[in-house]
Amino acid sequence: MPEHIAAQVEKLDPAAQAVIQMLWHFHEEQMAEFRALREQLEERDAKLEERDAKLAERDAKLAELQAQNDKFRKMIFGRRSEKLPPISSEVREAVEADDFPLDVPAGATSDEIKAARTTQRRKQGRKKSKTARSQRRKALDKLPVIHERVDVTPDKLPEGMTLDDFRPLGDGEVVRCLVPRYQIS
């Protein structure tokens, strides 16, 4: 108890002093309990702030992952223009860069390099297809030739047609007709 209050209490009768002493004792106990509760609240506030910081960090990470997930979904399920180029095209470009040396000046633009690659690729493709075409021609020459003359008589004509509706096909001209292997019906 502070001195100025203790001096006043001494002037009172002993019963009043006992009551004041008891009240002062309860006051000190409640103040100690109040301080303990205040410390607990401060600790809890510190823990809550720490938890809030962790939650904010998690929310930021979650937002980042959701944005990344949206981007990947768009790449996989989105329109063709939004998707990544296939790996095969990337590999082909790398192989072409090694296989087809380009004759372009050192300061060429990307469009010029692209045009030179396209030209080089077409030349390479023509070389490959030229041998395939010559092999097909040789195979066609090995096919048997069937000469057939079709005379049209009035009794073989479809209804409503006359001999005037037909004309000769060439004058001794040979027409080559290939029968397809597969017939779609």
State how far the Cα of 17 lies from the Cα of 23, in Å rounded to an integer. 10
Residues 62 and 104 in one domain: no
- Does residue 9 sit in the same domain as residue 45? yes
For residue 30, CA distances in Å to 16, 27, 34, 35, 113 come to 21, 5, 6, 8, 86
Same domain, 73 and 91: no
- Quote the pLDDT of residue 176: 53
Among the ranges given (28-32, 45-49, 152-156), the one the predictor scored with the smallest mean pLDDT = 152-156
Give 152's contacts (C-beta < 8 A, 6+ positions apart): 163, 166
pLDDT score of 182 more than 50: no
Q: Answer whether 87's CB lies under 8 Å from 69's CB.
A: no
Count of structural domains, the chain: 2
Residue 13 is predicted with a pLDDT of 86
Q: Name the residue range of residue 14's domain.
A: 1-78
User: How far is it, in rounded angstroms, from Cα 129 to Cα 3?
Assistant: 114
pTM, two decimal places: 0.32
60 with 7, same domain: the answer is yes
Domain boundary among 78, 96, 123: 78
**59 or 76, higher pLDDT:** 59
